[in-house]
Structure formats: C-alpha cells, structure tokens
C-alpha cells in the first residue's frame, strides 16, 4: 500500500474510532477553560489534514488554560508499518524541549542558594571555565584567552561561545561534529570534559550561538546539587508534577509506546529514519543530555508547561517561585545583540533563561502575543506559553527534517489555531 495512503487511512480509521467513543475526533474535554469547541475542531482537522497529505505520520496535541487541561487529541499513527495509532500515552523524543526543563533545574538551585546566574562556570566546572577561543573557525588549534569568563547566564542564553553538532561548514564546526557526543556511552561528566577540549567560537557574551550550552548546564546541575541529573529532575520536577512518563531512559517494555521517527522520502513520501540523532533511549549507558535527551508524552509535558504558565505551581505542587519564573520568561539578551538580530525573522523576539520570548508582537513575523515564551525540538516538537491569556499549548510529532526539505510550519499553525480557538 502507498505509504501516504496508509497514513491517511490510519488517521481516518482512528478518527472514526474516537468519534464513536467521544463524539469528536479528539480525546479529552472540549469547550472547557475558555476555548471554542468549533475552534478546537478546526485545530484537529488542520493537523489531520497534514497526516492525510502524508506530511506527518501523526500528532499528539494538548492545550491547557489557567492550569487546567482543556483539550487533548491524538491524530494519525505512531508507527506506519504496524498501523499503531497515536494515543495520549505515546512517547516522544522531545529533543530541545528538554532545554526548558534543565533551565528550571538551574533556577531551583539559585533559589536554594547553591549558585547564582552570574557565577563563572569555572567555579563549578573548571575544564569548561578554562576553554579558549578559536582565533579563526578555520584554524581551531590557534586559540586565545576569552575576553571575559563564561557565566551561568551565558549558558542559559546560548551566549557561551560554545558550538553544536549541526555546523559542518567550518573546520571548527567539523570538530564539534566529530565529537559525535550523542552516540557514545559514558557519564555526563565524561561527555562535558570531552566537549571542554574544544575551542569556543566566540568570547562569552558576544553573540548568540545555538549550542551545547544546556548540556553543560545539565552537568552544572549535577555538581551544584550533588545529585545525578536524571535523579534531580525526577525528584524536583517530574514527581511533584506527576510526570510519570518523562525521563532519559526507557525500559524495553516501553518500545511499543515510542513513536517512530520519519523523514521526507522520494516523491513527498515519509520513510522511517532509523537514526537516533540523540542516542538510543533504550541504552541505559546513554548520557543524560540536558539539552535534547528527554522522552515524554503530550499530557506529561503539558503539565510542565502549565506549571510554568501558572508561575511555578500546579495542583498544589510548586517547582519554582513566581519571581524565578518571571525572570526566566523575560528577555535577557543585551541591547547590542538585539540590535544585530533586528531586521530578520527574529525581529520582536528575544531570549529568556531557557526559552525564546516575545518582546514586541507587533514586530514579530508570526502570530504572537507580547510575553509569549516558545521553543521547538529537532523532531518538530513545539510548545508555547502565553501568560497574557493563560494558555499552554504543545504539539508532538516525530519528523527528522533533512537538508533541502521544505521547512515545516507546525509552530506557526499551532499558535494561530490555538489563539483562533480562544473564546
């Protein structure tokens, strides 16, 4: 059977089954918390159309408002070959949606008096604090001392000078790629020590470079708390919020719950990727990536987002103070850096302590509200938080975009359709 037809057929059959059970193609409660039922139906219909067109295998979408889940839908297939449907318990590699979780863990340590966001990183991680700057990206062995120490704030803003796995255009970028950090066994400490052997792209505080910064933050959490990162996140975030399906590693018994990653194939088809970009989640020796390593479900991650929208608390559990959340969801980019970002699609946007934030919605190139916070994951996992409207919204799918593929618009569609469903 044609792969796109199989995806569309699976989506239609699953939608019919849900209609029989719930009276609509969505699981959960519709029309609650100030959402218009017709608007929620439009949201689901749009993404069901993406599945039927063969652009995605399936989605899980969860919306909350004022700290209460308002909408939940599971559309299409988690695995095409077996016709396994998406469900609310489907597990996803959330990739960079991990970053906000790790940033919350850092702010918890600030509240406990164990660190300050303007502390030099070298106080906790001497090897990282001793990193030098490449004089040229084409001569990574020619290095100089940085103009200023790297701070915790620099890491949270991606202004540390570190690079990432995606730059293969320069000799320095190929050095970072050659580390292949996500596919080796080892501890978080060993991984960050390997990273620290490389030079920085730029002086800390000079410019924004999306990077391994949040992975370094994960190791900083371990050192400052004297707990393994996975245990710390579970104890201080996941357990209090009831996020029982979220973590870095999966037991073999959960294999059928994990959504398959797809990538664009010939003729606008989808093919199974077969590549674990951030390491195999079933490998117990995979190091816990604070930047991209968490596995979660839609309902679990929505609870985390609702706690952030509620300024640190949900259902009686508090993970952060209101002051800490307010600080995180405020722009921290220096004016000089903001000026260099002006005139691009980033106009009107800034960056807080772990998430992009909307500084001026009128200048932004998409459907935003002032004060919104948002981010995307590598496999097209998306979230946004809107303090002005009380909305927390997320969507999960598993698509690995390949070079040359048409850029997706999942995040923009999610924002527009969510806001379009507000009463």
Same domain (yes/no): 130, 271: no
Same domain (yes/no): 68, 126: no
Q: What is the pLDDT tens value at each position of the chain, 423 positions in all? A: 333 333 333 333 333 333 322 233 444 444 567 999 999 999 999 999 999 999 999 999 999 999 999 999 999 999 999 999 999 999 999 999 999 999 999 999 999 999 999 999 999 999 999 999 999 999 999 999 999 999 999 999 999 999 998 777 899 999 999 999 998 889 999 999 999 999 999 999 999 999 999 999 999 999 999 999 999 999 999 999 999 999 999 999 999 999 999 999 887 789 999 889 999 999 999 999 999 999 999 999 999 999 999 999 999 999 999 999 999 999 999 988 887 766 666 789 999 999 999 999 998 877 899 999 999 999 999 999 999 999 999 999 999 977 777 778 999 999 999 999 999
Same domain (yes/no): 111, 201: yes
Same domain (yes/no): 140, 213: yes
Same domain (yes/no): 411, 389: yes
Q: Is 35 helix (H, G, I), strand (E, B) or coil?
A: strand
Same domain (yes/no): 53, 148: no
Give the whole-angstrom CA distance, residue 169 versus residue 137: 9
Which residues form the domain of 320?
3-90+250-283+297-329+371-420
Adjacent-strand bridge partners of 382: 376, 395
Same domain (yes/no): 259, 160: no
* Residue 96 annotated to the active site: yes
Tokens of 289: 């990536």
Same domain (yes/no): 108, 81: no
The DSSP-derived string for 41-105 is HHHHHHHHHHHHTTS-SEEEEEEEETTEEEEEEEEEEEETTTTEEP-TT-BEE-GGGHHHHHHHH
Q: Looking at residue 73, which CATH number applies to its domain?
A: 3.40.710.10
Domain presence at residue 288 = no
Task: Report H helices in 265-311.
Answer: 298-309
Same domain (yes/no): 81, 111: no
Same domain (yes/no): 124, 81: no
Q: Which of 401, 67, 101 is nearest to 262 (CA)?
A: 401
Q: Which of 242, 288, 293, 235 is nearest to 112 (CA)?
A: 235
Domain presence at residue 359 = no
**pLDDT at 222 (0 to 100):** 98
Domain presence at residue 337 = no
User: In the chain, how many domains are there?
Assistant: 2
Same domain (yes/no): 218, 303: no
This prediction has a pTM of: 0.92
| Euclidean distance between the first and the last CA atom of the chain, given in angstroms as a whole number | 42
Distances (CA, A) of 43 to 18, 68, 75, 369, 414: 16, 19, 11, 19, 8
Give the whole-angstrom CA distance, residue 46 versus residue 51: 9
**pLDDT at 184 (0 to 100):** 80
**pLDDT at 28 (0 to 100):** 41
Domain presence at residue 410 = yes
Tokens of 399: 């698509």
Identify whether the C-beta of residue 256 lies closer than 8 Å to the C-beta of residue 209: no
Catalytic residue among 52, 73, 96, 355: 96
Identify whether the C-beta of residue 322 lies closer than 8 Å to the C-beta of residue 311: yes
Tokens of 156: 């949270």
Distances (CA, A) of 144 to 132, 149, 203, 348, 403: 6, 13, 10, 34, 34
**pLDDT at 16 (0 to 100):** 31
Domain presence at residue 56 = yes
Identify whether the C-beta of residue 386 lies closer than 8 Å to the C-beta of residue 70: no
Same domain (yes/no): 85, 57: yes
């Amino acid at each position: 059977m044609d792969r796109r037809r199989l995806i569309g057929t699976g989506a239609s059959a699953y939608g019919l089954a849900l209609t029989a059970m719930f009276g609509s193609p969505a699981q959960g409660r519709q029309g609650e918390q100030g959402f218009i039922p017709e608007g929620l139906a439009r949201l689901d219909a749009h993404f069901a159309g993406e599945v039927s067109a063969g652009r995605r295998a399936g989605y899980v979408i969860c919306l909350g408002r004022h700290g209460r889940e308002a909408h939940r839908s599971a559309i299409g297939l988690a695995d095409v070959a077996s016709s396994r449907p998406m469900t609310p318990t489907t597990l996803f590699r959330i990739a960079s949606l991990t970053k906000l979780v790790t940033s919350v863990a850092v702010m918890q340590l600030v509240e406990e008096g164990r660190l300050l966001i303007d502390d030099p990183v070298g106080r906790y991680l001497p090897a990282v604090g001793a990193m030098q700057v490449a004089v040229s990206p084409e001569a990574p062995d020619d290095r100089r001392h940085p103009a200023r120490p790297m701070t915790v704030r620099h890491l949270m803003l991606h202004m540390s000078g570190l690079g990432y796995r995606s730059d293969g255009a320069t000799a320095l970028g190929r050095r970072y790629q050659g580390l292949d950090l996500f596919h080796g066994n080892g501890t978080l400490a060993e991984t960050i020590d390997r990273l620290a052997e490389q030079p920085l792209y730029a002086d800390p505080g000079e410019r924004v470079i999306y990077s391994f910064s949040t992975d370094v933050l994960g190791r900083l959490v371990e050192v400052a708390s004297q707990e393994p990162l996975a245990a710390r996140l579970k104890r201080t975030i996941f357990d209090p919020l009831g996020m029982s399906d979220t973590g870095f590693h999966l037991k073999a018994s959960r294999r059928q719950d994990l959504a398959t990653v797809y990538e664009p194939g010939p003729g606008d088809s989808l093919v199974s990727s077969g590549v674990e970009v951030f390491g195999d989640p079933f490998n117990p020796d995979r190091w816990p990536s604070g930047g991209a390593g968490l596995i979660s479900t839609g309902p679990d991650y929505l609870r985390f987002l609702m706690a952030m929208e509620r300024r640190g608390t949900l259902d009686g559990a508090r993970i952060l103070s209101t002051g800490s959340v307010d600080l995180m969801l405020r722009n921290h980019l220096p004016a000089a850096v903001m000026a260099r970002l002006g005139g691009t699609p980033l106009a009107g946007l800034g960056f807080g302590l772990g998430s992009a934030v909307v500084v001026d919605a009128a200048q932004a190139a998409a459907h935003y509200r002032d004060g919104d916070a948002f981010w995307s994951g590598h496999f097209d996992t998306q979230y946004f938080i809107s303090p002005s409207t009380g909305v927390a919204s997320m969507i999960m799918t598993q698509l690995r975009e390949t070079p040359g593929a048409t850029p997706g618009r999942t995040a923009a569609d999610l924002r527009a359709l969510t806001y379009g469903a507000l009463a």
